[in-house]
Amino acid sequence: MLAALLYGQEDLRLETVPDPTPAAGEVVIEVGAATTCGTDLKVWRRGGHAKMLKPPTLFGHEAAGQIVALGEGVTGWRIGDRVVANNSAPCTTCFFCQRQEFSLCTNLTFNNGTFAKYLRVPAPIVQQNLLSIPEDVTDAMAAMTEPLACVLHGVARSQVKPGDRVVLLGDGAIGLMFVAALAKSAEVFLFGGSESRLEIAKKFGAVKTFNYRQVADLPDLVRDLTDGWGADVVIEATGVPAAWEMAIACARPGATVNLFGGCPRDTTITVNTEQLHYNELTLKGVFHNTPEFVRAALALISSHTIPFKLLISDHQPLRNLEQVFQDMKQRKVVKVAIVP
């Protein structure tokens, strides 16, 4: 089969590899659609990921399709079932899993390789994070379950209260999903750099949107929007250290700052200790998702209450994947559904 492999920094190659066969407890999916992701873009640009993969490796982690092969011992599934597989599963037995902190599992099983005709799904994911797709949900929509699950995990960790004023930094797919998930209960202000993406944010329910390039003093503007105090909750969704510091600067005393965007390895930020201490700020790093939020994400997509289809800018064949990443780098598209 034809598959995308990542060899290093912006070194993505399409190669012919053997079709996968399932071992005991595994299944093989014929990929109907694999969606691109901001994490994929960062991994492609940086040449790796601290947790998920090490090159050279099969690439891509969001996909949906139908089961074409079952490994020995797999029950509850049949050939032809339409499914979406999360890209990971916790071990359920380690120190963190025993405390229900599944995103911190020390033995997370990760799975990559969605940019291909077939995807082999490891047994732990089959057991915990393989879900059936409703008939009225397309493969491309279902493939967005994984990033939305991460967002819903981030929302829960942010402890947003009804009526809170939330500032979001970043208008990528993740930032826009945060808007959609929060807009019904909070006043959401989004700062981004793309006018077309800011328009999507308005359709998702953002109270106000701003192009940060046109803002002279972002924290000062946030204070103007919040009676001089700053935001109740700030969520950083870019993965840029300077934006982490900006997020902290936008927070009111007593606020929660969700540092959600993953920064490059070995980067650091500077925090004003006086501000942190006397303003009683809560700074949270939030990573990945849990089985609970994987299910909640697919349920939210299946409810059709939010037009998540606005995030899919295009559909492209696998052979155009390199150009798709170039377009993502230039911010010409949000997410693209890759059809093998």
Tell me the per-residue pLDDT of 23-61, one tens digit each, with 9 for 90 and over. Answer: 999 999 999 999 999 999 989 988 877 677 788 999 999
Task: Kindly indicate the confidence band of residue 325, based on its pLDDT and cuts at 50, 70 and 90.
Answer: very high
Amino acid at residue number 22: P
Right CATH number for 2-147+288-339 from 3.90.180.10, 3.10.20.740, 3.40.50.920, 3.20.20.70?
Answer: 3.90.180.10
CATH 3.40.30.10 fits 149-285, yes or no: no
pLDDT at position 50, please?
A: 67
* E strand map for the chain: 2-8, 11-16, 27-35, 57-58, 63-70, 82-85, 88-89, 109-110, 118-121, 130-132, 165-169, 187-192, 208-211, 231-236, 251-259, 282-285, 312-317, 335-339
For position 46, what pLDDT does the model report?
A: 87
Please list, residue by residue across 263-294, b when 16 or more beta carbons sit within 10 angstroms of its beta carbon and e when fewer do.
beeeeeeeeeeeeeeeeebebeebebbbbebb
Residues in the chain: 340
Tell me the pLDDT tens digit for each residue of 276-315.
999 999 999 999 999 999 999 999 999 999 999 999 999 9
Mean pLDDT computed over every residue of the chain: 96
- Of 118, 163, 123, the closest CA to residue 24 belongs to 123
- CATH 3.90.180.10 intervals, the chain: 2-147+288-339
Residue 184 has pLDDT above 70, yes or no: yes
Mean pLDDT across the stretch 132-139?
A: 98
Residues of the chain with CATH 3.40.50.720: 149-285
